[in-house]
Amino acid sequence: MTTQIILAGFGGQGILFAGKLLAYAGMLNGKEVSWLPSYGPEMRGGTANCSVIISDTQIASPIIQKPDVLLALNGPSLEKFEDAVVKGGTIIYDSSLIASAKENADVNICGIDATETAIRMDAKTLANMVILGKCIKETNVFTIDQLKDALKKLMPPSKAALYDLNCKVLDAGYEL
């Protein structure tokens, strides 16, 4: 099986890190993975995206034409990629920041209050983790525990104190 995921949002929302976490979790669970960022004159407030492929077989092109999953944390990102999502795919978007997604009966569309949820938990920079929690629930790429294990290994020692909070936020996203 191959799952192609595009994560997109504003620079500074932790899009690239969230993608790296998915790829890392895939690697730890014996999958082939690739993580391809958009790069350029990106900055906080600009747009950023990354393409993550998780597969049981060798990954040919790391570029995603038609994602199975789109995680969108701002309006421009949703507009840019929503039409590309495959039939039967999933879109999860942050309804705190995006009014609505285009209706599409062929796609599982979930608007969740990611940013609001993160703020309520006193973790305003962790909307990315709320979205990832929901992504795990909707897609079954991994279990939430596999993702938490990966997070533990990926977080630098200087941020280890934030591990528990990240996990709580992941759980909150999973429950939404």
Interface residues toward other proteins, by CB under 8 A: 20, 23-24, 27, 32-37, 39-41, 59-63, 65
Please say whether the beta carbons of 70 and 42 come within 8 A.
Answer: no
Please say whether the beta carbons of 167 and 148 come within 8 A.
Answer: yes
Residue closer to other proteins by CB (options 34, 117) is: 34
Tokens 């077989």 belong to: 57
Residue closer to other proteins by CB (options 127, 150) is: 150
Smallest distance, other proteins to C-beta of residue 138, A: 24
For residue 100, give Cα distances in angstroms to 68, 83, 103, 136, 155. 20, 14, 9, 22, 33
Residue closer to other proteins by CB (options 60, 160) is: 60
Smallest distance, other proteins to C-beta of residue 52, A: 9
Smallest distance, other proteins to C-beta of residue 69, A: 18
Residue closer to other proteins by CB (options 70, 101) is: 70
Smallest distance, other proteins to C-beta of residue 75, A: 24
Positions of E strands within the chain: 2-10, 32-37, 47-55, 69-72, 90-94, 108-112
